[in-house]
Amino acid sequence: MAVVVTLEGTAPSVTQTANQTLIQITDVDSNGNTGTSSYSQTALVVNTNDVSTAISNANTQLSQFRTHIDEKAAMDIDTSAAEAKYNDAQSKISTAQALPSTSYTDALNNINTAISTISDGETLLDKAWAEKEISDAQGPVNNVDALIAYFQGNSSTASDARLSEVITKREVAVSYISAANDALTNGNFAQARSKAEDAYTKGNESYNDALTFKAAVEATWNPFAGLGSIGSGIGSSVILIVVGIIIVVLVVVGIIIYRKRSRWDELG
């Protein structure tokens, strides 16, 4: 025997969108005992106000994301990946806004996708920031490497204790960069930036020490080097004057020798 039942009703009102049990059927015998057979039907009951609220919240998050992108772009950070996520999220929100009120489920799905995309974009922006800090920290290390090579190629400075101090600080900076890269790989972008800042500071210390060392070495070659740019100019001028005097002397000696030989030829 089969029983066909048609039910009609009004979906219950809800304060927020949620799954609701619309019908539940349980087998009960004549004695009121519940059987093992049962059937229930649930459905998502939507509060249409949730859609407009969700769209408003998504637009707020999108606006904040736009501000973060612009801030990082001003810091010369690569925001291309974040920009792509921004455009995707903006498209999803626009689609949700354009849907009719009866398509609230599709609208909410688009909004949820947009919010997830914004979150992914913020993560990519944070990563790009950390990568920029690490790249900046490498600059002073590269600068000091050039000076270290200069010192090591000079026999008078290759074993100098001051060079050892420069190299020690340089190695500390490199270790910080390595730690920053490890943190970046592990997704700990805040720590990556912190280590990169430490590397930048220590790298600059090493570079400044190297410049001081170089100035001291050059002072032994040019007694006027301690006067800075003026001293360098004086030193260069002195060298030019000395070279000029030598050239004049050679010319005079040459003329004298030439004249003597000419007289010998005449007396010949």
Tell me what percent of the residues of the chain surpass a pLDDT of 90.
56
pLDDT for res 238: 52
Phi then psi for residue 101, to 5 deg, are -60, -25
pTM across the whole model: 0.69
Residue bearing the bigger pLDDT, 79 or 30 = 79
Distance, CA of 133 to CA of 261 (rounded, Å): 74
Asked if the model's pLDDT at residue 228 lies above 60, the reply is: no
pLDDT one-digit tens code per residue, 113-150:
999 999 999 999 999 999 999 999 999 999 999 999 99
Question: Are the C-beta atoms of 86 and 66 separated by less than 8 Å?
Answer: yes
Residue with tokens 């995707």: 88
Coil, helix or strand for 113? helix
Burial tier of 224 (Cβ tally within 10 Å: 0-12, 13-18, 19+): middle
Q: Which of 42-51, 173-182, 183-192 has the lowest average pLDDT? A: 42-51
Distance, CA of 213 to CA of 68 (rounded, Å): 43
Average pLDDT value for residue range 148-155? 92
Distance, CA of 9 to CA of 78 (rounded, Å): 56
The angle that helices 80-98 and 48-74 make with each other, rounded to 10 degrees, is 160
In which band, very low, low, confident or very high, does the pLDDT at 244 lie, cut at 50, 70 and 90?
A: low
pLDDT one-digit tens code per residue, 245-261:
777 667 666 677 666 66
**Domain extents in the chain:** 50-221, 227-267
